[in-house]
């Protein structure tokens, strides 16, 4: 039998967490939670499995995580983030395509790729980029200025991770035009993404160099872990699509943000209702047990 001290904490979060949303958890555990604030409730030492937590969370419309009792941000050295629909609210390639009236066509390919329905990610990206041929390079700046918005909680989360001593990796199947600017804006340490080919001030519809796909994302996480002297087990990976699964698979903690079902099923935790900074309620700067 597992010792009570070794059992994980259950932490439930919602931007407006009501008692009714907690009722099924309370009934299943036979005790009320500790209310941290209006958004967060927690139960220490919970003998409940992940599948049951996911079922109850989905039914209640909340985000919930089973967190090892002694786990904190101090256990990690690197946090790796996808960009599109993770750190920012849009898919850049879809928005670029909107300037030539082909957003729906490109977005359909993007959505299928993120759901894992397209086996060859590289080919799906080439197909989408090919549709952008002839667009002025200045369109990229328009997308950045007019459409790129940070995901709720992104700035707070990145700032807290950096304050806790973690290095930040931005690794994207998107494009360097956007990752370079996001890296500078958020003070991110490392970034890797795809290079759009430009000739005479216009997109050619091609890419330069190796495509950052699922394997490339995993390799980027592993490379940057080696660079700072940690193991992938000391990394947190956050993403939303099928091409994030390889890097999530080697990370110590994986977080699916507003993700496709395929991704949610294979990750440690899922955020479906709160902002990215929900993670800070699950992984405090110090473990609760060390602050007693």
Torsion of CA 282, 283, 287, 292, to 10 degrees: -50
Angle between helices 50-60 and 19-29 (to 10 degrees): 150
Please identify which of the residues 19, 51, 70, 82 carries the catalytic annotation.
82
Structure-token match 């490379």, residue found: 223
Question: DSSP string covering 123-175, please?
Answer: HHHHHHHHTTTT-BTHHHHHHHHHT--BPTTHHHHHHHHHHTT-EEEEEEEEE
Q: How far apart are CA 88 and CA 91, in angstroms?
A: 8
Phi, psi (deg, nearest 5) at residue 131: -70, -10
Strand partners, 81: 170, 238
Cβ 198 vs Cβ 133: under 8 Å: no
Q: How far apart are CA 282 and CA 292, in angstroms?
A: 18
Cβ 144 vs Cβ 181: under 8 Å: yes
Angle at 279 between CA 40 and CA 251, to 5 degrees: 145
Please identify which of the residues 51, 58, 63, 84 carries the catalytic annotation.
84
| 3-class SS of residue 8 | coil
Please indicate whether residue 84 is annotated as part of the active site.
yes
- List residues with catalytic annotation: 82, 84
């Amino acid at each position: 039998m597992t010792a009570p001290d070794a059992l994980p904490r259950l932490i439930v979060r919602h931007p407006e967490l009501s008692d009714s949303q907690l009722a099924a958890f309370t009934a299943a555990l036979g005790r009320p939670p500790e209310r941290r604030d209006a958004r967060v409730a927690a139960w220490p030492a919970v003998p409940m499995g992940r599948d049951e937590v996911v079922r109850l969370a989905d039914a209640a419309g909340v985000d919930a995580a089973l967190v090892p009792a002694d786990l904190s941000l101090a256990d990690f050295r690197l946090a790796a983030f996808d960009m599109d629909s993770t750190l920012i609210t849009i898919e850049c390639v879809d928005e670029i395509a909107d300037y030539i009236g082909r957003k729906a066509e490109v977005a359909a390919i993007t959505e299928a790729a993120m759901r894992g329905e397209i086996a060859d990610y590289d080919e799906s990206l080439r197909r989408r980029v090919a549709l952008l041929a002839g667009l002025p390079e200045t369109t990229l700046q328009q997308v950045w200025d007019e459409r790129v918005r940070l995901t709720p909680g992104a700035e707070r989360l990145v700032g807290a991770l950096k304050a806790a001593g973690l290095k930040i990796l931005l690794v994207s199947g998107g494009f360097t035009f956007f990752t370079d600017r996001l890296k500078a804006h958020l003070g991110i340490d490392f970034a890797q993404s795809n290079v759009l080919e430009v000739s005479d001030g216009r997109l050619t519809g091609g890419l330069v160099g190796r495509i950052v796909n699922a394997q490339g994302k995993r390799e980027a996480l592993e490379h940057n872990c080696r660079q700072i002297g940690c193991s992938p087990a000391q990394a947190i990976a956050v993403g939303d699509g099928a091409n994030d699964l390889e890097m999530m698979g080697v990370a110590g903690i994986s977080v699916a943000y507003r993700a496709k079902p395929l991704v949610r099923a294979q990750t440690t935790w899922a955020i479906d209702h709160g902002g990215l900074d929900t993670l800070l309620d699950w992984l405090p700067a110090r473990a609760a047990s060390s602050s007693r």
